[in-house]
């Protein structure tokens, strides 16, 4: 059987898709807060060092695996080392679990986008807080109490999965055109929001909190770990996405320049988003008569409580900027969401030769069903808990194992020779050191530190049994990965 592998329509399509996969909600709601919290402008130093010593080397590694092997993660890692197929499957099942709860966060943004036209979330801070926690999510008292499905959230979840399906069903060539919009629109909205933010009173005060350096923070090892953690998660590493996206490039495609462009575009977007966030926080603090740190928050609190509060206080066109902000979140999130499904689909297609026309809708429906528990009253807690375990343990283990397999089993210098043979920008032996020593060391330290904290403090103030559930999930996913790796492959001749 002769089968043609799908291909991107152009190099820029691939770069936009990879940038879209990397740029997500975290660029807006996590990076600016982490920067402010860990030394302001001084944090940019460990952040950029982490980008150069771990982020870009790992991205080069993943691109090279995808381009050289022309396969999705399980098939790709099997070609590198027969015993490593399960690592590929582990990244695939992890990213599927991640996609299930990520789609749920998207469903909240879908609901807020709808409500932004009437500013239905209320007027004051406490009203907005109440709307998110008690009206939309109707949160239960603990993760052990799931309660009823919240129908608007379920509807938002269905809409999200339909969008994921529609973006992927025509194949990567069409996807390569869609990403121009899903990456271009959030950049355009960010520019509008930065201009709006900078023209508000108090904006400069907010930016001072964002960028004023506190160099003494650099003495704290936690700041450096935070920088490496931020780089690792923001670039969508270890999820299988970059491997499968790169596998749709021809074998003689450039690797290094693509990796530098993708990484720098992602980090540049994060840095730029900080101006939209902190200029608005400066305005919010000034309007409320409090200091910027008192209104500074991250994650869901920033997106669904703090930002709507600031939007309400805008002198003109609150509805417009509310809709723009949640459209920003939706467009930022959708290309990350479908990039999480593509490695799953690609793995089934490459391993068993299944037809994409059948496997894609099946995975989308299954993903929707797996996501239903997150739409219950207790679902909010589980989004937080599962996110913690998938990111801090699952993805970190995959990243660590990828470095070991390539660095020590396959040979870092061997794959570097291949990378240099196809790339416009060559890399030196420094890359071997980053892949064999620095990146695995940092990931190993992060993993041990997270485990130690979990054992001594638990996570997030949740009951102890949730930690066992999280660790149990990771172990279960490893077992499933081994089972999938043992099944017989369908080869094309």
Closer residue to another protein in complex, CB, 17/305: 17
Q: Is 3 in the site for another protein (CB under 8 A)?
A: yes
**Phi-psi region at 147: left, alpha or beta (left = phi > 0; alpha = psi -120 to 50):** left
Cβ closest to another protein, residue 56 vs residue 157? 56
Give the integer Cα–Cα distance in Å for 280 and 196: 9
Regarding 70 and contact with another protein (CB under 8 A), the answer is yes
Q: With CB under 8 A as the contact rule, which of the stretches 222-230, 251-259, 397-405, 466-474 interacts with another protein?
A: 251-259
Among 191, 195, 257, 362, binds another protein (CB under 8 A): 257
Out of 120, 264, 359, 438, the residue judged to bind another protein by CB under 8 A: 264
Q: How far is the CB of 260 from another protein (least distance, A)?
A: 4
Rounded to a whole number of angstroms, the minimum distance from the CB of residue 239 to another protein is 23
> Distance (Å, rounded) from C-alpha 88 to C-alpha 77?
6
Nearest distance, CB of residue 256 and another protein, angstroms:
9
- Name the minimum Å distance from CB 257 to another protein: 4
Does residue 419 interact with another protein by CB under 8 A? no
As a dihedral over the C-alpha atoms of residue 452, residue 458, residue 464, residue 470, rounded to 10 degrees, the angle is -70
Element (H, E) at 53: none
**Beta-bridge partners for 376:** 149
DSSP string, 262-322: HHHHHHHHHHHHHHHHHHHHHHHHHHHTS-HHHH---HHHIIIIIHHHHHHT-SS-HHHHH
**Residues 229, 245: Cα–Cα separation, whole Å:** 23
Which of 10, 134, 421, 426 touches another protein (CB under 8 A)? 10
For the chain, how far is it from start to end, CA to CA, in angstroms? 6
Identify the residue among 169, 180, 271, 459 touching another protein (CB under 8 A).
271
Supply 239's token pair. 């999820």
Backbone angles phi, psi at 149, to 5 degrees: -65, 140
Contact mark string toward another protein, 191..220, x via CB under 8 A: -------------x--xx-xxxx-------
User: Of 274 and 379, which CB lies nearer to another protein in the complex structure?
Assistant: 274
Axis crossing angle, helix 73-80 with helix 85-116, rounded to the nearest 10: 150
Among 169, 260, 418, 459, binds another protein (CB under 8 A): 260
Closer to another protein at the Cβ: 210 or 245?
Answer: 210
Number of residues counted as binding another protein (CB under 8 A) = 39
Are the beta carbons of 310 and 117 closer than 8 angstroms? no
d(CA 131, CA 226): 32
Q: How far is the CB of 171 from another protein (least distance, A)?
A: 13
Token pair, residue 454, equals 């979990």
Told to check if 366 binds another protein by CB under 8 A, we report no
What are φ and ψ of residue 235, in 5° steps?
-90, 5
Please report how the helices 85-116 and 464-486 are oriented relative to each other, as an axis angle in degrees rounded to 10. Answer: 130
> Residues in the chain, how many?
493
294 binds another protein (CB under 8 A): no
Strand, helix or coil for residue 149: strand
Stretch that binds another protein, among 34-42, 324-332, 359-367, 481-489 (CB under 8 A): 34-42
420 binds another protein (CB under 8 A): no
Contact in structure between 31 and 273 (CB atoms under 8 Å): yes
On whether the CB atoms of residues 301 and 125 are closer than 8 A, the answer is: no
Least gap, CB of 288 to another protein (angstroms): 22
* C-beta closer to another protein: residue 277 or 436: 277
Does 22 contact another protein by CB under 8 A?
A: no
Among 126, 144, 221, 250, interactor with another protein by CB under 8 A: 250
Nearest distance from C-beta of residue 218 to another protein, angstroms: 13
Binding flag, residue 297, another protein (CB under 8 A):
no
- Residues 31 and 274 sit within 8 Å (Cβ to Cβ): yes
**Which residue, 258 or 280, has its beta carbon nearer to another protein?**
258
* Among 193, 237, 246, 267, interactor with another protein by CB under 8 A: 267
Between residues 65 and 478, which has the closer beta carbon with respect to another protein? 65
The token duo for 199 is 């023209």
225 binds another protein (CB under 8 A): no
Q: Judged by CB, which is closer to another protein: 148, or 257?
A: 257
4 binds another protein (CB under 8 A): yes
SS3 of residue 376 by DSSP = strand
- What whole-number distance in Å separates Cα of residue 446 and Cα of residue 469? 21
**The one among 141, 142, 201, 251 contacting another protein by CB under 8 A:** 251
CA distance 137 to 156: 12
Q: Single out the segment in contact with another protein by CB under 8 A; choices: 114-122, 131-139, 267-275, 387-395.
A: 267-275
Interface with another protein includes 265 (CB under 8 A)? Answer: yes
| Residue 8 DSSP symbol | -
> Interface residues with another protein (CB under 8 A)?
2-5, 7-11, 40-42, 44, 48, 70, 204, 207-208, 210-213, 250-254, 257-258, 260-261, 264-265, 267-268, 271, 424-425, 492
């Amino acid at each position: 059987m002769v089968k043609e592998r799908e291909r991107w329509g152009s190099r820029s399509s691939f770069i936009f898709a990879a940038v879209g996969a990397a740029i997500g909600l975290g660029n807006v709601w996590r990076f600016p807060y982490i920067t402010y919290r860990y030394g302001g402008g001084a944090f940019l130093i460990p952040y950029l060092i982490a980008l150069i010593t771990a982020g870009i080397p790992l991205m080069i590694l993943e691109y090279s695996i995808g381009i050289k092997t022309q396969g999705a993660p399980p098939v790709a890692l099997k070609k590198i080392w027969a015993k490593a197929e399960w690592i590929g499957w582990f990244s695939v099942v992890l990213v599927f679990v991640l996609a299930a709860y990520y789609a749920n966060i998207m469903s909240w943004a879908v609901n807020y986008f709808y409500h932004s036209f009437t500013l239905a979330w209320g007027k004051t801070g406490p009203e907005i807080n109440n709307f998110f926690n008690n009206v939309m999510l109707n949160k239960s008292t603990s993760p052990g109490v799931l309660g009823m499905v919240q129908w608007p959230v379920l509807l938002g979840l269905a809409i999200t999965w339909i969008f994921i399906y529609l973006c992927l069903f025509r194949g990567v060539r069409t996807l390569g055109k869609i990403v121009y919009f899903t990456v271009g629109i959030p950049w355009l909205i960010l520019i509008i929001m930065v201009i709006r933010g900078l023209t508000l009173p108090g904006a400069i005060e907010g930016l001072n909190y964002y960028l004023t350096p506190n160099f003494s923070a650099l003495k704290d090892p936690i700041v450096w770990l935070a920088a490496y953690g931020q780089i690792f998660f923001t670039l969508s590493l270890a999820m299988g996405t970059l491997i499968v996206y790169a596998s749709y490039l021809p074998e003689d495609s450039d690797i290094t320049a693509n990796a530098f462009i993708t990484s720098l575009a992602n980090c540049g977007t994060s840095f730029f988003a900080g101006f939209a966030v902190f200029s608005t926080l400066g305005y919010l603090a000034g309007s409320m008569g409090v200091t910027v740190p008192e209104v500074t928050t991250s994650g869901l609190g920033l997106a669904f409580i703090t930002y709507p509060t600031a939007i309400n206080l805008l002198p003109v066109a609150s509805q417009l900027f509310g809709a723009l902000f949640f459209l920003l979140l939706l467009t930022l999130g959708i290309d990350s969401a479908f990039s999480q499904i593509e490695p799953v689909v690609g793995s089934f297609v490459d391993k068993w030769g299944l037809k994409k026309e059948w496997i894609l809708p099946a995975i989308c429906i299954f993903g929707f069903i797996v996501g239903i528990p997150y739409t219950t009253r207790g679902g909010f807690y589980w989004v937080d808990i599962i996110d913690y375990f998938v990111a801090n343990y699952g993805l970190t283990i995959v990243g660590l194992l990828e470095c070991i397999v390539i660095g020590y089993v396959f040979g870092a210098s061997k794959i570097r020779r291949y990378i240099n043979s196809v790339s416009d920008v060559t890399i030196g032996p420094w890359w071997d050191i980053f892949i064999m020593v620095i990146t695995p060391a940092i990931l190993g330290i992060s993993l041990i530190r997270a485990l130690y904290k979990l054992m001594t403090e638990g996570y997030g103030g949740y009951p102890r049994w949730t930690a066992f559930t999280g660790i149990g999930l990771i172990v279960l996913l490893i077992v499933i990965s081994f089972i999938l790796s043992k099944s017989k492959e369908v080869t094309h001749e």
